[in-house]
Amino acid sequence: MEEPAYEVFNQLEKAVPADVIAKWCSQTYGLTIPESHKFVVEIQHFINSNTKPAKLEKPLTHLGADQIPAGGKIFSIKYYHFAGSDFCFQFSHQKIERMIHPLVAHLQVKHTGLACHQFQLFRLVDSLYLRTNEKLIGQCSLSEEHFFKGKVYLELLNKAYQKEEKDWMAVMHGSAISDGKHSIIFTGDSGKGKSTILAVLLANGFKFMADDFVPVEAVTGAAYQFPTAISVKKGAVEILQAVFPELLEAEEFYFQEFDKTVRYLSPHFSREFSPQSLPVKAIVFVNFEPGAELEISRKPKTEAIQNLITESWLSPRYENAERFLDWAVSMPYFQLKYSDNQQMIAAITKLFGQESS
């Protein structure tokens, strides 16, 4: 019933009368009129109950995605501020809250009464749904948590920067840092240290741009700042705890889908900071390897671009795809292997100072 539920939900969002939808549902899916009417009423009830003020439930244990109950109750409402905009998030269950809130908790504010962008995150039948400002944005199956988070992030990005999906050329799976004039994107295989290198550089005078979700604008090819916290895997806590002692007290989150445990580190900027977009100086493929000597060298463009295409979200628009290929071909690529943080910092500092070619 996933498809019928989605279609009925979509038509109700467009204010199509319930009896018209019931008749369409009966003809399309071979249901009786009473069955169709009951189905439409249930979906309508869900929509109505999901837009009421929050009725907070007592804390629940952290359940698996397949155990999130479908229904209209709101588990929590949280407010965030970023890039001059206010956001109100309604979470229908603790599990859905825990997908998003720990990554943006540092942006949380008290409700000021000012107009907010409304984000509603909920489950209906066997899917997770996102609705913003009363518009249904999309759905993902319960097993596609990472896709769902991507939809939420992209919509947050669009609202904060007053853009649309067509304005983005790509979103890189990596981290990004800046020297105030240019940015460098770090990418590479999972577990190679993209977030760790970001945190170390952040502690040594560089500026935070993004972690895990690096948006690149279509027209300018610039990387944009995105506010999520830095994901620190269990093995990196020991490396970073001397600089960021708060990691020792941070809550751990286990992601069964990827079999990894992470803690979240605030990027340490003010909620009132001015978001930046900066040209990309280079893309660096990171490989932290204990005991390794520092090695930094050019990476072949054909190999690097293939890796980027595999690990990134790329705009499906033809003109943006062309822009991405032009941008990717013009970009300098490096591969970095290291174990000593001071040597790495010196290498990245030098890279920021080099002319792009």
Q: What is the pLDDT of residues 253-300, one digit of tens each?
A: 887 766 788 899 988 755 445 677 999 999 999 999 989 999 999 999
Q: Which two tokens stand for residue 153?
A: 């992030």
At 226, phi and psi to the nearest 5? -135, 140
Q: pLDDT tens digits, residue range 116-134?
A: 999 999 988 788 889 898 8
Provide the angle, in degrees to the nearest 10, between the axes of the packed helices 33-50 and 2-13.
Answer: 60
**Pairing mode, strands 76-82 and 295-298:** unpaired
Q: pLDDT tens digits, residue range 6-22?
A: 677 677 766 777 788 78
**What number is the average pLDDT over the span 221-247?**
90
Residues of the chain above pLDDT 90, percent: 49
User: What separation in angstroms does the CA of 55 have from each of 49, 74, 80, 267?
Assistant: 10, 6, 19, 32
The more confident residue out of 145 and 104 is 104
Order of all β-strands in the sheet with 253-255? 230-233, 260-265, 253-255
Amino acid at 13: E
Q: How confident is the model at residue 348 (pLDDT cuts 50, 70, 90)?
A: very high
Does 324 score more than 80 pLDDT? yes
Q: What CA–CA distance (Å, rounded) separates 107 from 104?
A: 5
The more confident residue out of 41 and 59 is 41
User: What separation in angstroms does the CA of 318 have from each of 94, 315, 325, 345?
Assistant: 39, 8, 11, 38
Q: Of 129-138, 149-158, 267-276, 324-333, where does mean pLDDT reach its minimum?
A: 267-276
This prediction's pTM: 0.78
Q: How confident is the model at residue 44 (pLDDT cuts 50, 70, 90)?
A: low
> Which residue's structure tokens are 């005991």?
291
Q: What CA–CA distance (Å, rounded) separates 79 from 100?
A: 12
Does 357 score more than 50 pLDDT? no
Q: Tell me the average pLDDT of the chain.
A: 83
**What number is the average pLDDT over the span 199-225?**
94
Does 97 score more than 90 pLDDT? yes
**What number is the average pLDDT over the span 97-103?**
93
**What number is the average pLDDT over the span 60-84?**
64
Q: How confident is the model at residue 83 (pLDDT cuts 50, 70, 90)?
A: confident
**What number is the average pLDDT over the span 45-62?**
41
**What number is the average pLDDT over the span 157-171?**
94
